Every structure is written in C-alpha cells, then in structure tokens.
Amino acid sequence: MLYQQIAQNKRKTIFLILAFFFLLTAIGAAAGYLLVESYQFGIVLALILGSIYAFSMIFQSANVVMGMNKAREITVDQAPDFFHIVEDMAMVAQIPMPKVYIIDDPSLNAFATGSSPENAAVAATSGLLQVMNREELEGVIGHEISHIRNYDISISTIAVALASAITLIASMGSRMMWYGGG
C-alpha cells in the first residue's frame, strides 16, 4: 500500500507539471496577443521564463521555503535533542537525513519541504521545541518525516512553485499592459 501511494504521488507530480505548462502556455498566449499581438511570442516567453523558474524552484525549494520563513539550519551541537529526533525518525523511515531548521517563532508549528527525500528539510518553531516533551516531538517529527517518505512534499512544493510562476507571468503581463498603455 505504501509503495502504491508513493507511485500515485509521483504520478500526481508529473500530472501537475504538465497541467502547469498547459496553463502557462495559455497565459503566455493571451499575454503575447494582448501586448504585441503575437501568440507565439507570448508562448515562447512564458515557456522560457516558466521553465527556468520551475527548474530553480524544484531543485532549490527547500532553501527558498526556509529563507521565506527566516529559518536557520542547525547542527547537532546547536540543538542535540531536536537533531537526534529528526535523525532517528529519518533512520526508521529509511530516508536520507533531511536538513534540520529552527524558526524563531513562539507559535507551535513544524513542517517538511523539498521536492524529494534527497533534498528534503524539516523545520520546527522554537515555541514547539519549548512546549513539547521528547515523546510529543517524536510524534510531530514522525508525521513530517512521513510526508517526506510518501513524496507528499513533492506535490505540495511543486504546486506552490508552479502557482508562483503563473502568478509571476500574469503579473508581468498586467504590468506591461498598465505601463504600456494597453
């Protein structure tokens, strides 16, 4: 059952990328027609910009998400209990050790990100680390590690990245129309 879920998540990721490029092509065609009366120009420009953006987001997503949350990567010396919990959960799940981050925030939150287990990251807020005991924290981190193992992070990370690319292209088109007098 687990392997079927992983395979299904990988198929969903591929479908999501194909749907993204279809939508991006349509937006590019519309923007190209409105701005320079050329569908082809809009499609080519949208696909080039979308491909560059999607490629960079897919392979740098963990760094981008952690940067947006002002997370700092930690080592075993900085937070040994938290680091070892992540290490233990990764070992049990039989995935590579994800990068470990702490976000200085009093709220209670934890999440995993990345496009695959090989480039995944796990973060927890300082509030969560202060409130929870080891057993509770193991449960939370085990849940986040399961997202990595099942490739759930791949779907959500790519969805966010691709939606951002579409927003970027649409925003560029609307600004060009506004400032171009269209």
Catalytic residue check, 73: no
Burial of 126 by CB count in 10 Å (0-12 exposed, 13-18 middle, 19+ buried)?
middle
Are 98 and 142 contacting, i.e. CB atoms less than 8 angstroms apart?
A: no
3-state secondary structure (DSSP) of residue 103: strand
Q: Which amino acid is at 62?
A: A
Close Cβ partners of 88 (under 8 Å, ≥ 6 residues apart): 138
- The Cβ-side half-sphere exposure at 147, using a 13 Å CA radius, reads 22
Give catalytic residues, as residue numbers: 144
